Amino acid sequence: MIYQPKDGFYRRAKKEGYRSRAAYKLLELNRRFHLIKPGDRVVDLGAAPGGWLQVASQLTGRRGRVIGIDLEPIEVFNEPRPEEKLRSS
């Protein structure tokens, strides 16, 4: 299979406001293995561009804490609180 940079997941991620298509990978992993729960603390190493940070923030909620570290700059998040985004989805 040849990688298509603008495949369906890429377009869906852009439409839904995720920074990368990798957000869906974490959503699927969490659906299958329940890795991140409300109130958890998460550290994302190599976090740019921030797709996993977005999802982890949604999954941990207000009581949780998510920290992302990368050598590349990561843009500041200017979006609704995580639980508000999940409710509207």
- Domain extents for the chain? 8-88
Instruction: Identify which has the larger pLDDT, 77 or 1.
Output: 77
Q: What is the pLDDT of residue 6?
A: 81
Q: Which CATH architecture has domain 8-88?
A: 3-Layer(aba) Sandwich (3.40)
Instruction: Identify which has the larger pLDDT, 24 or 83.
Output: 24
CB 22 within 8 A of CB 53: no
CB 44 within 8 A of CB 56: yes
pLDDT in tens, 1-48: 676 668 888 889 989 999 999 999 999 999 999 999 999 999 999 999
CB 41 within 8 A of CB 68: no
